Chain A
């Protein structure tokens, strides 16, 4: 693993291109040097296999080819030609009194055109890859025949799939799942970012179409006086980064401290105490966070108690609150701090578990020798424990940061329906001070059907996460090389 990590992003990219290059060149050689059957395989995928008596393979490849042709003719042809305009015929309906049903014209559904075109592109892309690989395989057969090598029977071929090629068997379904449920949706929404898909252009009744980069221009501040997306974007992004930083750091340090505390020799019944903390994460977040939200509501139990012990009055006297309750989750500032505090409550036990595991493996001899040298416990913590933790969990810290940028649950469950912004410019673009980019995006799609802006924001989130990950990993890999702890 350690040396795997050393391959930097640049190497990964160049390796990828090398692989692609090799792929094309083997295809080229096959076309150039192949015999007539190999060349015939360009048109009829099964041709080469027939020549080398791999009949089952020939049937499979022919069927696959036929399937793709049928797919193209009967399915893709309905949608792909409209991809340029995303449809031109609006839905119209006429009520038929005899059937008591509405009858529709043959209308275009922009979203379906986009989705199915994309689907067709993916199928075609896969088809081309298979086609090119097929050529290379057939050419390989030719070479094997020429050299008088043994050509596998179908049974032997199948056996390869639990042997050498077992990875294909293993990865086929998971990759298919990822393609259909992750890659296609992501590509789809990247496309949507370049359309005007919003409440004014909602299929099936309306059509939407391509608009180029205008949504990006809107987001980065060019949207005229009233559309305040640019204004909101900067603020929401700022809070997203602040949140991600503090929520990651606080839970991380909190987790380490708590685990040191629990694992100390002085702790009585450590298992019992650990259990107490673990219980809080075992309660599903939507229960615990919705509960905490009501706990800290403007007229909730905590406010009642604070009022009874005159804390509210005291805070009002020193000017921290202006209302007759403490606006824990309903005023900017207060809400920001509370959200991070509540996140500590949610996140520290998790980090405690991880830290416990890591600290168990801390090299004893280093601790011992440090103690011998008369190091103070605090020095041991900063000089040995923390660097060791950072070394081990550094990559996890980066992924945690990215996860927190996208931490939907905590923010949504704590502020939805509770927090109302008093900033009119934010309100005009449906944002709030406590929004993360993802919750803003979610609200835009769920309540305002503003899919185009949501997609643009989604792409921006991705770019930020990608940049951060790239920089962080490159930096950390630089530090890794010392291999202090190996």
Chain B
């Protein structure tokens, strides 16, 4: 009722605007917040008509996925529609990579897709903004798929469910695992033994006049040095981040020494710092003989290095005579349900469908996406894939990175300073200062 009045009045005041506008209105009339407000008033009327299963109304859903997954998602959606033959759907697939989902969703949650995928490091920010429907609250709808929430939880690797859970509630269906980075190398230049430590790696690369590449100006990559030495990051309830890199770790290693080790590596002429996002580009240039990257670059690496293509866990680095294993950030991909979806129930069912065993298997077959489903993980095809094997092998020491919003820019700048040699290995005080600044920036209250 109220909504009608509003639009009527707006029409009256904005005749000109609406006259042009009405001609081209697409199917998102109900996107205004007044629409959301009136839901409570209108909802009770609807429940009578739409009650029971398989209503005759067409269900409109919007699904976002990465550019490279579009054909896969089309197939999943058609499978989904087949699985519910009684219900008419109108499912639109849009492009939004899981790595940037948060940025787009938070701009306007109500305009975001009903179902979208996101990377696990965005979970806290999305939950805090109220963008995600808690699966526990809506889990009963899974009965339509002859499942319970516990079935979903037990079908996937426990770590992935844990990563999807915040304050005791699950906020997404795991669809992809081993979202991490490891070492690709050209076995015609670097032996399996050389690939185990940075020192040997760089020496072998220097001999072959090639380079070893790694992205340092990203808190996702450069944290691996610190995590390996026993340092931690954490997330507080208020969204601030905790970080201890300027002190001494549980393994009794000081942060300054870690930075010195990093600077030893970056000052080696066989090392090449690669800007975030430029990795596959750089692989293609052919200058590299080894690079730290994730499963998404496997086809590029295989194409460039051919038979020499190999992948293994991250190397160790030298710190005061001892070898320290780098520990990567280890993440997952989840399928989210928008809290402000107009069709929450069906959105949950679609999200669950994308995360089920059949879809995950399809995803691996089509796109080499490492799965989280235990049955798919156990399949032979997975075990035969070099990149996925390397990624999964890091599950034991990989760190599920839970950090807040302030973490990223500050660590990015810190990594850039190390990569560019802006701080010198000899200058302990300067390193300590940089680390203190880093900690101060990361732990700053959100403004």
Judge if B62 is at the interface, Cβ distance under 8 Å.
no
Complex contact B43–A96 (CB within 8 A): yes
Judge if A323 is at the interface, Cβ distance under 8 Å.
yes
CB closest residue in chain A, given B34: A112
Judge if A399 is at the interface, Cβ distance under 8 Å.
no
Give A360 Cβ to nearest chain B Cβ, in Å. 41
Complex contact B434–A98 (CB within 8 A): no
What residues of A have a CB within 8 angstroms of the CB of B6 in the complex? 74-75
Q: Which of A99, A324, A423 contacts B51 (CB 8 A)?
A: A99
Complex contact A205–B130 (CB within 8 A): yes
Complex contact B37–A424 (CB within 8 A): no
Give B289 Cβ to nearest chain A Cβ, in Å. 16
Q: Which of A101, A173, A417, A427 contacts B410 (CB 8 A)?
A: A427
Complex contact B343–A180 (CB within 8 A): no
What residues of A have a CB within 8 angstroms of the CB of B217 in the complex? 420
Judge if B278 is at the interface, Cβ distance under 8 Å.
yes
Judge if A450 is at the interface, Cβ distance under 8 Å.
yes
What residues of B have a CB within 8 angstroms of the CB of A180 in the complex? 14, 17
Residues 275-302 (chain A) with a chain B CB within 8 angstroms? 297-299
What residues of B have a CB within 8 angstroms of the CB of A101 in the complex? 39, 43, 46, 342-345
Residues 416-444 (chain A) with a chain B CB within 8 angstroms? 417-418, 420-428, 430
Give A442 Cβ to nearest chain B Cβ, in Å. 12
CA gap between A100 and B107 in the complex, in Å: 26
Residues 290-335 (chain A) with a chain B CB within 8 angstroms? 297-299, 322-324, 330-331
Complex contact B342–A428 (CB within 8 A): no
Judge if A204 is at the interface, Cβ distance under 8 Å.
yes
Complex contact A102–B344 (CB within 8 A): yes
Complex contact B103–A428 (CB within 8 A): no
Judge if B304 is at the interface, Cβ distance under 8 Å.
no
Judge if B247 is at the interface, Cβ distance under 8 Å.
no
Complex contact A299–B281 (CB within 8 A): yes
Given A91-B130, A202-B106, A322-B421, A424-B414 contact (CB < 8 Å): yes
Given A74-B5, A112-B33, A424-B434, A95-B110 contact (CB < 8 Å): no
Judge if A109 is at the interface, Cβ distance under 8 Å.
yes
Judge if A409 is at the interface, Cβ distance under 8 Å.
no
What residues of A have a CB within 8 angstroms of the CB of B128 in the complex? 199-200
Give B372 Cβ to nearest chain A Cβ, in Å. 25
CB closest residue in chain A, given B36: A104
Q: Which of B13, B137, B345, B445 contacts A226 (CB 8 A)?
A: B445
What residues of A have a CB within 8 angstroms of the CB of B341 in the complex? 102
Give B10 Cβ to nearest chain A Cβ, in Å. 8
What residues of A have a CB within 8 angstroms of the CB of B422 in the complex? 422
CA gap between A184 and B35 in the complex, in Å: 22
Complex contact B346–A99 (CB within 8 A): no
Complex contact B43–A204 (CB within 8 A): no
Q: Which of B40, B414, B446 contacts A106 (CB 8 A)?
A: B40
Give A112 Cβ to nearest chain B Cβ, in Å. 5
Give A325 Cβ to nearest chain B Cβ, in Å. 9
Which of B269, B272, B285 gathers most chain A CB within 10 Å?
A: B272
CA gap between A226 and B409 in the complex, in Å: 14
* B339-357 interface bits toward A, Cβ cutoff 8 Å, 1 = contact, 0 = none: 1111111100000000000
18 contacts between A and B (CB under 8 A): A74-B5, A75-B10, A95-B344, A98-B52, A99-B43, A101-B39, A101-B345, A112-B34, A198-B447, A199-B128, A226-B441, A226-B445, A299-B278, A422-B416, A422-B417, A424-B417, A427-B441, A449-B107
B residues in contact (CB < 8 Å) with A = 2, 5-6, 9-10, 12-14, 16-17, 33-34, 36-37, 39-40, 43, 46-47, 50-52, 103, 106-107, 109-110, 125, 128-131, 133, 137-138, 140-141, 217, 239, 269, 272, 275-278, 281-282, 285, 339-346, 405-406, 409-410, 412-414, 416-417, 420-422, 434, 437-438, 440-441, 443-447
A residues in contact (CB < 8 Å) with B = 67, 70-71, 74-75, 78, 91, 93, 95-107, 109, 112, 123, 173, 176, 180, 198-200, 202-206, 218, 223, 225-227, 297-299, 322-324, 330-331, 417-418, 420-428, 430, 446-450, 453
Besides A106-B40, A417-B277, 16 new A-B residue pairs in contact (Cβ under 8 A), listed by A number:
A71-B9, A95-B141, A100-B50, A101-B43, A101-B46, A109-B33, A112-B33, A199-B129, A203-B33, A324-B269, A422-B417, A423-B413, A424-B417, A426-B413, A427-B413, A427-B441
